[in-house]
Structure 1
């Protein structure tokens, strides 16, 4: 039994050494190598790697897109309190992983990313009124992203995208915004009502003018008929005895009785 102890110990030690000598870097990560605490400038790509046990240590840094969602409170240009929630998508580039770990450490999000977001949010928010933060939300987000990118790029991080998740304002401001919207809606309704009344008035004027013209024409026709009727009423039923065509005079009695005497008298 004793003769197997030494070989067994050797096998166990060898297995332990092999286990400590192999490191697997996960997909989407960079292996940062340290030897006696000193960081190697060259990182390890994903996959299996042999390392010197008890001398070399490998720390896996995630190179995939990371998300930092930060809530902060700041003041707008018009001194309104604004509670913002901003989500930043960022990455640790493969080539920058060793220097980031060396200069910042593994907790780089709380050390660099979160403070950078808070600083950018406060800086940009102070440039806009509370109402402008609502109406110019896209522009505000772009300026925040630019400010954050400039800040964290100095440490080796890259920015993918930024999203303003939420803006929260005081109850007083929300009430003021609601009152303003109500006033605008009432003003718009009044303007529409005024336009409608104007159109209706124009229509009534046009209708009145048309009715007046119709009445005038009817009055004119009626006047002509009355004149004719008056003339008929005043006529005694007798035709004039003599008529003229401008050159000759005609005796109507002679014409009607068929007299042979001269019925036409030449004008002088």
Structure 2
């Protein structure tokens, strides 16, 4: 395109020079030929357009956008047409509080007010792509700067509009997935109207105020202490039950001994023991009779 414009200027200059004297006319003719050569060269090179993989090209002629899209590959087009490339691969737009982590440098996290009036900081990643067939519509209605004009403001607005329905602690814990799904639905509808396809939405981090963090930590510590105390009480209860069973067993044993053994049975058991001693190889002295009526055994060794 530049060569064509340059060739036109050169051709006009040669045309003006050809109106002068003989030498000027001859020089002007040469300049005009050179200008025509530039025009032809520019037209020839501008006819061939290459669209890279993962891109589409939108044609524009004198400000009018053509609805036909050029897909990846080599194309022969009108040399006066201007081609605007659009990336149709998955793109990632991240807004983060961590410096140099997001699409924009610095702290770019989204700060919102929850239902209980607390300020919550949210890091978000938006995975999306341009709909190839909708690229002419995007160029005509938005331009090629759709990141700052659509992706960023729509995502931040969706976060703020949905966060006001949740309390801060719920956003951080129990309602996080529900919150993310609602944001996805909101952004998806807005993107679809503008030729963008939302693929995935990632709520990467939710930061609560320090006062809320301390409250949650205190609650967790209290719950842990309570669980520990329950464990100790259960252990003590089991130990008390064990001692009670042991004491009951001893009492039952003593009761059996006191009620189940007669004097004759005890005397019989004593005689059996004496007999076993007497049959052993060691010498013994057996003194029969005592105050209780039972023999007394004395080992002679």
TM-score band, normalised by the shorter chain? 0.7 to 0.9
Separation of aligned partners in 2, 1:202 and 1:228: 35
Q: 1:89-128 residue pairs with structure 2 within 5 A?
A: 89-128=127-166
1:153-199 superposed Cα distances (whole Å, 9 cap, x missing partner): 12121110111111111111111111111111111111111111111
Shift in alpha-carbon separation, 1:213–1:37, aligned structure 2, 3 A: same
Q: Residue 82 in 1 paired to residue 120 in 2?
A: yes
Separation of aligned partners in 2, 1:5 and 1:99: 43
Separation of aligned partners in 2, 1:122 and 1:60: 33
Correspondence for 1:62 among 87, 110, 113: 87
Q: Residue 218 in 1 paired to residue 257 in 2?
A: yes
1:10-65 superposed Cα distances (whole Å, 9 cap, x missing partner): 54443222222222111111111111101111211111222333x31110011111
Separation of aligned partners in 1, 2:216 and 2:292: 84
Query: Greater shift after overlay, 61-70 or 121-130?
Result: 121-130
What SS class does the counterpart of residue 160 from structure 1 fall into?
strand
Correspondence for 1:175 among 200, 214, 234: 214
Shift of 1:201: 1.3
Alignment partner, residue 167 of structure 2: 129
Q: Residue 39 in 1 paired to residue 39 in 2?
A: no
Superposition CA RMSD, Å: 2.6
Separation of aligned partners in 2, 1:34 and 1:8: 28
Alignment partner, residue 199 of structure 2: 160
What SS class does the counterpart of residue 165 from structure 1 fall into?
strand
Separation of aligned partners in 1, 2:266 and 2:213: 81
TM-score of the pair, normalised by structure 1: 0.77
Shift of 1:94: 0.9
Shift in alpha-carbon separation, 1:166–1:6, aligned structure 2, 3 A: same
Alignment partner, residue 254 of structure 1: none
Shift in alpha-carbon separation, 1:8–1:151, aligned structure 2, 3 A: closer
Shift in alpha-carbon separation, 1:49–1:212, aligned structure 2, 3 A: same
Shift of 1:7: 6.4
How many residue pairs get matched? Answer: 230
Compare CA radii of gyration and give the structure with the larger one.
Answer: 1
1:103-141 superposed Cα distances (whole Å, 9 cap, x missing partner): 111111111111111111112222222221122322222
Shift in alpha-carbon separation, 1:10–1:234, aligned structure 2, 3 A: closer
Gaps spanning 5+ residues in structure 1: where?
236-268
Correspondence for 2:239 among 197, 200, 205: 200
Shift in alpha-carbon separation, 1:205–1:46, aligned structure 2, 3 A: same
Q: Which has the higher contact order (CA 8 A, sep 6+)?
A: 1
Separation of aligned partners in 1, 2:210 and 2:264: 80
TM-score of the pair, normalised by structure 2: 0.69
Separation of aligned partners in 2, 1:170 and 1:234: 88
Gaps spanning 5+ residues in structure 2: where?
1-26, 96-108, 268-290, 294-301
